[in-house]
């Protein structure tokens, strides 16, 4: 088992980061406080330089390279946040950065990484495949490989998030955050358990990319064959050897959340918290909203990143509204006669709902003669209102199918 880093390592990293990073705010969260029945806070690393906590570990790692190593340049692989962190940190340390990103990486993250001065190479369809390409580049060119999570300096840099939390909220009961490769939770767990061992450390993974639970059951890192989640920033097929050693020893619980739960958390953060977060950055909030973890209060959820493609944000918000019962997609089948569509829309309007989009289909082979299908997107006031609307449609004789049926 690899040696774990220490609190002294994280405190040393904090000294290196003074004047480089932003001490991000710790904000109270009223919706979570009401949900949990006790104080809940958000550690807003989405407001960090380059939009995530990743610059912390990247800067610590690169700043400790020798002049000869810096002259060779650095190389990294990432879906976006580590890419931007490395690009920014490399520029601050006057060294060249090459970053490998998966094909299909969000365009804003690609553009931002270029904007910080890095050269971009697209390779593979997952972070793991991009990692292999970056390692091959390092072997071929001599550029120093900056691992996104599995290095002591990187873990120590990420752990400074917990030092800031404990400076402001020394009586914190639980710290909850997402897990991809595991660098952030590893560093924070070291700090929390060294200062106050009773602090509960909870990790959260997307259910479609949850490599840590089977790894814990096996007692060693396990690689998933397939991953699928909207949370691209934590879509990692295998935890690192070093991070797994930290997680298995120091983390109290690891839970999972669905993409629908992540979408609902993003919606709450935007609507109630006035915070733009990315899917990977909101999984801790998602777990609390879903009741996926039993936590001691006060609780702090780390909002670890805010770099989200605006196009994805639109789709995720739509999904979040649907999951919250406020945006209803229904297919209504009715007789094809004059005035039928007007009658349908009038019924919906009389029930206080707002039709956003409507599609009228007559030529679906599934339809009977004299039958028409109307596909509707409807804004409602919540799940109870949606249920009443569907009941009213069915009571009026319409055949109704929702996206959830």
Q: Provide the 8-state DSSP code for 5.
A: P
Pair 119, 234 in one domain:
no
Residue that the structure tokens 């196009």 belong to = 311
Q: For residue 393, is it within any domain?
A: yes
Q: Residue 359 forms beta bridges with which residues?
A: 375
The pLDDT tens digits for 309-334 are 888 787 777 776 776 667 777 888 87
**Using CA atoms, how far apart are residues 13 and 397, in angstroms rounded to an integer?**
67
CA atoms within 13 A on the CB side of 130: 29
Mean pLDDT of 152-171: 98
Of 273, 294, 321, the position where a domain reaches its end is 321
Q: For residue 2, is it within any domain?
A: no
Q: Which residues 6+ apart lie within 8 Å of 15 measured at CB?
A: none
Pair 212, 302 in one domain:
yes
Pair 299, 198 in one domain:
yes
pLDDT of 405 > 60? The answer is no
Tokens of 202: 């909870």
Q: Provide the 8-state DSSP code for 112.
A: H
Q: Which of 89, 106, 101 is nearest to 131 (CA)?
A: 101
* Residue positions counted in the chain: 405
Q: For residue 1, is it within any domain?
A: no
Tokens of 148: 């996104």
**Using CA atoms, how far apart are residues 326 and 213, in angstroms rounded to an integer?**
33
Tokens of 53: 């906590």
Residue 130 structural domain: 56-145
pLDDT of 264 > 70? The answer is yes
Is the separation of the CB atoms in 189 and 244 below 8 Å? no
| pTM of the model as a whole | 0.84
Q: Residue 41 forms beta bridges with which residues?
A: 28, 300
Tokens of 39: 């104080």
Element (H, E) at 97: strand 97-101
Q: Provide the 8-state DSSP code for 324.
A: T
Element (H, E) at 329: strand 327-335
Give the number of domains in the chain. Answer: 3
334-364 CB burial, b ≥16 within 10 A, e <16: beeeeebbeebeebbeebebeeeeeeeeeee
Q: For residue 216, is it within any domain?
A: yes
Pair 17, 88 in one domain:
no
Pair 42, 110 in one domain:
no
Q: For residue 136, is it within any domain?
A: yes
Q: Which of 285, 280, 321, 266 is nearest to 109 (CA)?
A: 280
Q: Of the ranges 68-77, 134-143, 259-268, 396-405, which one carries the lowest mean pLDDT score?
A: 396-405
**Using CA atoms, how far apart are residues 238 and 218, in angstroms rounded to an integer?**
13
**Angle CA 152–153–157, to nearest 5:** 115
Pair 61, 44 in one domain:
no
The pLDDT tens digits for 60-96 are 999 999 999 999 999 999 877 999 999 999 999 999 9
Q: Which residues 6+ apart lie within 8 Å of 167 measured at CB?
A: none
Of 287, 321, 355, the position where a domain reaches its end is 321
Residue 260 vs residue 155, higher pLDDT = 155
**Using CA atoms, how far apart are residues 277 and 119, in angstroms rounded to an integer?**
26
**Using CA atoms, how far apart are residues 383 and 290, in angstroms rounded to an integer?**
15
Is the separation of the CB atoms in 283 and 266 below 8 Å? no
pLDDT score for 180: 94
In a 3-state reduction of DSSP, which class is residue 354? strand
Pair 83, 124 in one domain:
yes
**Using CA atoms, how far apart are residues 163 and 137, in angstroms rounded to an integer?**
35
Pair 40, 179 in one domain:
yes
**Using CA atoms, how far apart are residues 240 and 261, in angstroms rounded to an integer?**
26
Integer distance in angstroms from the first to the last C-alpha of the chain? 48
Q: Which of 166, 145, 163 is nearest to 154 (CA)?
A: 145
Pair 28, 113 in one domain:
no
Pair 126, 163 in one domain:
no
Kindly state the percentage of the chain with pLDDT values over 90: 65
The CATH number of the domain holding residue 294 is 3.40.50.1100
Of 321, 349, 371, the position where a domain reaches its end is 321
Is the separation of the CB atoms in 206 and 257 below 8 Å? yes
What's the chain's Rg over C-alpha atoms?
24
Q: For residue 67, is it within any domain?
A: yes
Q: For residue 15, is it within any domain?
A: yes
pLDDT of 113 > 80? The answer is yes
**Which residue blocks in 169-304 are alpha helix, DSSP H?**
183-195, 212-218, 241-250, 259-271, 283-290
What is the 3-state composition of the chain as percent helix, strand, coil, each rounded to the nearest 5? 45, 20, 35
Pair 189, 257 in one domain:
yes
Q: For residue 370, is it within any domain?
A: yes
Distances (CA, A) of 308 to 81, 163, 234: 10, 26, 13
Angle of helix 152-168 versus helix 7-17 axis, rounded to 10: 80
Computed over every residue of the chain, the mean pLDDT equals 91
pLDDT of 370 > 70? The answer is no
The CATH number of the domain holding residue 359 is 3.30.70.260
pLDDT band at 146 (very low <50, low <70, confident <90, very high): very high
Pair 361, 252 in one domain:
no
């Amino acid at each position: 088992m690899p040696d774990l880093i220490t609190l002294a390592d994280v405190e040393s990293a904090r000294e290196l980061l003074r004047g480089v990073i932003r001490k991000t705010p710790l904000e109270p969260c009223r919706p979570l406080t009401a949900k949990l029945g006790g104080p809940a806070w958000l550690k807003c690393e989405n407001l960090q330089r380059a939009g995530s906590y990743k610059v912390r570990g990247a800067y610590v790692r690169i700043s400790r390279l020798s002049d000869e190593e810096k002259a060779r340049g650095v190389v990294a692989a990432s879906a976006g946040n580590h890419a931007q962190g490395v690009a920014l940190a490399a520029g601050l340390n006057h060294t060249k950065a090459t970053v490998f990103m998966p094909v299909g990486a969000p365009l804003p993250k690609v553009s931002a990484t270029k904007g910080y001065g890095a050269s971009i190479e697209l390779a593979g369809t997952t972070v793991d495949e991009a990692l292999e390409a970056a390692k091959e580049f390092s072997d071929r060119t001599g550029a120093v490989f900056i691992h996104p999570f599995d290095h002591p300096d990187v873990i120590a840099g990420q752990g400074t998030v917990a030092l800031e939390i404990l400076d402001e909220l020394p009586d914190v009961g639980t710290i909850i955050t997402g897990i991809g490769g595991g660098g952030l939770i590893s560093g924070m767990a070291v700090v929390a358990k060294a200062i106050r061992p009773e602090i509960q450390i909870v990790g959260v993974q997307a259910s479609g990319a949850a490599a840590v639970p089977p790894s814990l059951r096996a007692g060693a890192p396990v690689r998933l064959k397939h991953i699928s989640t909207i949370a691209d920033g934590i879509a990692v097929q295998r935890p690192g050897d070093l991070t797994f050693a930290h997680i298995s020893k120091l983390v109290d619980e690891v839970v999972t959340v669905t993409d629908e739960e992540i979408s609902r958390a993003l919606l709450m953060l935007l609507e109630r918290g006035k915070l733009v977060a990315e899917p990977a950055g909101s999984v801790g909030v998602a777990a609390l909203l879903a009741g996926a973890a039993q936590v001691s209060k006060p609780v702090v959820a780390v909002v670890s990143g805010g770099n989200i493609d605006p196009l994805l944000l639109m789709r995720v918000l739509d999904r979040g509204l649907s999951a919250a019962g406020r945006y209803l997609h229904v297919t209504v089948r009715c007789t094809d006669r004059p005035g039928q569509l007007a009658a349908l829309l009038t019924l919906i309007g009389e029930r206080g709902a707002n039709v956003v989009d409507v599609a009228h289909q007559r030529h679906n082979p599934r339809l009977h003669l004299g039958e028409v299908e109307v596909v509707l997107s409807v804004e409602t006031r919540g799940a109870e209102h949606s249920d009443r609307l569907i009941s009213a449609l069915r009571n009026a004789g319409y055949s109704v199918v929702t996206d959830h049926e």
